[in-house]
Structure 1
């Protein structure tokens, strides 16, 4: 059974659950998500009763917001504990310490940030919420000046996002400081099947504009990327899965390959694929198979067949986060038409209410490898060229 929860579910997700008879738990939030008529809904009581009878039920959440429901209603099972192993970044580092014994990490309460002995920290390092989402509160620190700026920015951001997500999804009261992992960054949608074996549903490269960039602007997948990394990433996921002992468990894995070729996990997000229905929907747009259905039916992609005609193409999701420097209330509008005109093969645009969430939308694109410049341009942009500010009525 699946959980449909805020902040967003896509039309493709709605179609997937309706057309394939996948039960959706009829929570109060699910009732507000405009699921299509004909969707199979089951009551919360039915869901609990069914799960009580199953050892490893097949569950999926569109958003980690649903983790709160799972914690409250499924405390009799080991699922809340399994989720916590991944969602809590400090517990995840402790879980995987045997695999990466030399990796530095340290937990700290937000109220103690100013008291840290800065000279004892490895430079550069990353600081982020122990329980977080969507790159909020994530900062790279290379010197004492940046440390002061990061603390100030964290306190400002806490005020901005404290009411956007439940505490199970975003808790800015505690942070983890980790050594910085240099190298190429990747994201992997996968699930652990009924035997605990990982099945890879997509591999993406998280592309950055610079070494200091920690944003979520562009995730890109391709035939070459999948063929090059499939075997190694599957083995990597298997090691983590064995430590956690998970079965019928979807994950969104973020990892880096360092300069010596060693893979190191950044984090593993439990019970979902990419947030906001992004990366699983990209897999369908790019490769023509349905990751939601593949997980539900325990199917494995035939990558050799799927990738046959995908040479020299880059499929991307562009996250249009508000990087303008303007507050939402200072923005009159966002020029989506102009944005689309800068891409040769836009596949789908999803507009988001930027007055409620710090993102203008998501754009799915199909780019020729030799036209990477269009992705580089959006990576380097602060998006001001697409914004009309209220104060002047002119494009910033």
Structure 2
């Protein structure tokens, strides 16, 4: 079963629902009338009461509130909380990483923080958050003064866009910086608690201070290199939380000395806004939504063998222009597309509401990787007009 909610449902997910006749409800008025053959919410509740191994997937964390309110008799709210709350997640894995520093602090206590008690540099992010909203890297005391001001501005807007279960601005997690390369992957646990990895993405950054979600990409080589290691990690994680019939999106870093340290786990979904699962399908032909809901395990040996050698990327066109979205009159999507050898799909977003111009999927030959490097470092000002 599938819960659909704002901000975005892809055509690919809609087609998956129709082609597989998956039961779905719209918890956010995101679909058009008659677009999908939706069921009644009571049918989902009844299914979970009658079948302990029922599965549910949501494209958006906005639906978490619905799950908590309607499926409280299941394990789902417990699973959600231990991962959605970043402090609870750090406590879950604390004995795996006993020397890792983390500290929870209330928003009202930001001014009283003693920097001498914190590792410098450090990361601060909301205890319950989404995308890179409110995530900041603090390199020194001067940075800290600026970050505090930015945090207060960001969360004044966030309160109006996302429910409390998606972004909770009451407290923040401060933790040490994890050096190394960053990756993201999707996974699910079956009725026996066995873990299956559904795709692997690399998440590069444009600079040492960059904490954005601008680019994720995958390739045959990336999947071959990291699949088994990520599968081993998520198996251990599932055993700790005793997960069953549950999907997740995991972000990790591989340190310079080869150690895997998790950043966060996003519950009940793969990449939000229909991102990572759709990218995996474009790169491999395997449909992660279908595989999870029908309890299939990908034949990775065959899938990798059939993949080409190109790079498949997701580019999140967040507003990094420095110009408030309300002051931007247009975005030149045509000029953007010309920067790529083979754009696959462009998804335009209401940037005045979400401060994201859109999302672009692209296929890039290995010898043209510079196009990914360029968009990673771009502030996108060349594509906008003020008005």
Contact persistence 2:123–2:135 (CA under 8 A): yes
Question: TM-score scaled by structure 1?
Answer: 0.96
**CA 1:32/1:186 → structure 2, altered by over 3 Å: closer, same or farther?**
closer
Give the CA deviation at 1:185: 0.3
- Structure 2 counterparts to residues 163-312 of structure 1, below 5 A: 163-312=160-309
| Alpha-carbon distance in structure 2 between the residues aligned to 1:145 and 1:384 | 27
Contact persistence 1:191–1:295 (CA under 8 A): yes
Contact persistence 2:343–2:363 (CA under 8 A): yes
- Structure 2 counterparts to residues 62-211 of structure 1, below 5 A: 62-211=59-208
Give the CA deviation at 1:40: 4.0
- Does structure 1 residue 6 correspond to structure 2 residue 6? yes
Question: TM-score scaled by structure 2?
Answer: 0.98
Structure 1: runs of 5+ lacking an equivalent: 391-396
| Equivalence for 2:18 | 18
Contact persistence 1:14–1:35 (CA under 8 A): no
| Alpha-carbon distance in structure 2 between the residues aligned to 1:17 and 1:252 | 20
Out of 48, 51, 68, the position equivalent to 1:51 is 48
Secondary structure of the structure 2 residue equivalent to 1:241? helix
| Equivalence for 2:359 | 362
Give the CA deviation at 1:46: 1.6
Give the CA deviation at 1:36: 6.1
Out of 9, 31, 34, the position equivalent to 1:33 is 31
Contact persistence 2:186–2:270 (CA under 8 A): yes
**CA 1:126/1:35 → structure 2, altered by over 3 Å: closer, same or farther?**
farther
**CA 1:43/1:126 → structure 2, altered by over 3 Å: closer, same or farther?**
same
- Does structure 1 residue 315 correspond to structure 2 residue 345? no
Contact persistence 1:135–1:216 (CA under 8 A): yes
| Alpha-carbon distance in structure 1 between the residues aligned to 2:56 and 2:202 | 27
Contact persistence 2:5–2:26 (CA under 8 A): no
Give the CA deviation at 1:311: 4.4
| Alpha-carbon distance in structure 1 between the residues aligned to 2:289 and 2:308 | 25
| Alpha-carbon distance in structure 1 between the residues aligned to 2:362 and 2:384 | 21
1:328-361: CA deviations, max 9, x gaps?
Answer: 1100100000000000011110001111111000
Contact persistence 2:183–2:203 (CA under 8 A): yes
Structure 2: runs of 5+ lacking an equivalent: none
| Equivalence for 1:344 | 341
Secondary structure of the structure 1 residue equivalent to 2:376? helix
| Alpha-carbon distance in structure 1 between the residues aligned to 2:104 and 2:134 | 14
Give the CA deviation at 1:301: 1.4
| Alpha-carbon distance in structure 2 between the residues aligned to 1:197 and 1:274 | 20
Give the CA deviation at 1:25: 2.5
Give the CA deviation at 1:78: 2.1
